[in-house]
Amino acid sequence: MVHQQTLDAPTVQTSEKTTCLLVEDNAFVSDAYQIVLEGGGFRVCQVAVSEPDAIDAILTRRPDVALVDIDIEGGDSLGVATALIAKDVPVAFVTGHPRSVLPAPFSTLPYLQKPVSRAALLALVHRLEEMRDK
């Protein structure tokens, strides 16, 4: 009888994938990141190449996490990082710049220096997921 109840019990599936906003103005880089992330079980909700694109995505897409390059079309992405932090979206910088170029309070955020490996990128997004779930 227990076996039959187990078979008949409704199952709950968690098919919701963590959504990630990519803020990157190099199409080759964003395409590569998107392939890696989606292959790793995440969903890229939008690729933003500029601050206005990114702010729009933050407000309309409500990403779970975000990966942000420092230099983006039209300037830097510190305003984007500020908006993400204000919305409690875990954010990490993935950039060619050394960490030392990040002013406080951004210097303590998760960070990877390009070029990045597949494993490092996925580990970073898993870390952001853990930050979100706290």
Quick one: pLDDT at residue 59? 95
Domain formed by 17-133, architecture: 3-Layer(aba) Sandwich (3.40)
Quick one: pLDDT at residue 15? 52
SS3 85: helix
Find the DSSP H helices in 46-96: 51-60, 78-86
pLDDT in tens, 9-52: 333 334 589 999 999 999 999 999 999 999 999 999 999 999 99
Q: Which amino acid is at 131?
A: M
Provide CB contacts within 8 A for 127, sequence distance 6+.
92, 110
Q: What is the DSSP letter of 48?
A: E
- Residue spans per domain, the chain: 17-133
pTM of the model: 0.87
Provide CB contacts within 8 A for 77, sequence distance 6+.
23, 51, 54, 68, 69, 70, 71
pLDDT class of 5 with cuts at 50, 70, 90: very low
Provide CB contacts within 8 A for 69, sequence distance 6+.
23, 24, 25, 26, 29, 77, 93, 94, 95
